[in-house]
Amino acid sequence: MIRLWKNFLLTALVGVLVSTGAGVGRASPSPAEVGTLAWNPPANLVTPLNQVWAHQESTYGDLYGFRNYGWDQLFANRGSVNFCVRWDSPASVTAAQRDRIHATLARQYKKWMDTMVGQDNWPYATVPIKVVGWAVRDRAQLQWSDSSVDVYVNNIRENAPQCAEPCGRFFVRGGTYPNCPGGDAHHYDQSLWLTSGFGGGAGGDWGQRMGSEYFLNNLDADSVTIFLHEVGHTFGLDDFYDWTPSGVGGFIMKAGSSATITEFDKWMLRDWWRHLKYRYGF
């Protein structure tokens, strides 16, 4: 899978609940939801975690200054994430397939977010995921007539359908979306970019990209490995093509070495929260 943080961090290229509605979840955490477990990784992971963070500090262009990690998006929405689906394929999509894609997206995202529940003042027990739009070349490909999601037709960027840029956080960083049709509630934070024939994956602050066939073939899978790997990048986690931290074996962020999120992956995510939580008052 391709990591885009170093190459594209500062350049433009886009339990969990799911909804096809356009409203944006704005729930604030209650005291009962705030995680209380302090930073206390297993002893055998302390050294490799420190190695990973030091490596990120030395290789990321603006590790602490960058303000569009998945963390920033989630907190800007007060605990939710909105998605656009970029349907970069000539195939048609039924309403049933649409809903299964939404459900799989939410179920997989939940695997990462559940990692944070109860940890180190993490404030959210659930992180609602909403798909607010679909982008397609030809409206006839989308075989539904309801208005549950916004549909963008033949708006092409990077030779692929794109949801309206005035609605995308990647393009609009002010926190409001005055030029987005439908207003702020119709904005999207990330894109699920499904491309016919695409091998491997890519991920960053803009979202995740992988083969449309791959995603459809894994709608019932327990772990959609490429998607999980790319979501890790959205939250800042690194790739490990040219090195491995001491004392750890396979893990999902080391592409090809694990099909599932491991304990080491979980603690790497929590380490990002440990270093960035001050941004959000924790």
Q: For 10-23, what is each residue's pLDDT tens digit?
A: 333 333 333 333 33
Q: What is the pLDDT of residues 70-88, one digit of tens each?
A: 999 999 999 999 999 999 9
Residue 14's pLDDT is: 31
Residue 111 in domain: yes
Residue 282 in domain: no
Residue 189 in domain: yes
Q: What is the pLDDT of residues 111-139, one digit of tens each?
A: 999 999 999 999 999 999 999 999 999 99
The enclosing H or E element of 93 equals strand 93-94
Q: How distant is the alpha carbon of residue 206 from its chain centre? A: 8
Amino acid in position 217: N
Spatial contact of 85 and 135, defined as CB atoms under 8 Å apart: yes
Please work out, in degrees rounded to the nearest 5, the angle formed at the alpha carbon of residue 61 by the alpha carbons of 10 and 264: 105
Residue 73 in domain: yes
Spatial contact of 108 and 227, defined as CB atoms under 8 Å apart: yes
Residue 22's pLDDT is: 34
Residue 135 in domain: yes
Contacts for 15 with CB less than 8 Å, ≥ 6 apart: 110, 114, 125, 126
Residue 105, domain extent: 2-26+34-276
Residues of the chain falling short of pLDDT 50? 1-33
* Length of the chain measured in residues: 282
Secondary structure of residue 31 in the 3-state scheme = helix
Cβ count within 10 A of residue 57: 11
Mean pLDDT of the chain: 90
Residue 38's pLDDT is: 86
What total number of domains does the chain contain? Answer: 1
Residue 28's pLDDT is: 42
pTM: 0.89
Residue 153 in domain: yes
Nearest one of 175, 167, 20 to 95, comparing CA atoms:
20
Q: How many CA atoms lie within 13 A of 61 on its CB side?
A: 10
Please work out, in degrees rounded to the nearest 5, the angle formed at the alpha carbon of residue 146 by the alpha carbons of 141 and 149: 75
Residue 180 in domain: yes
Residue 115 in domain: yes
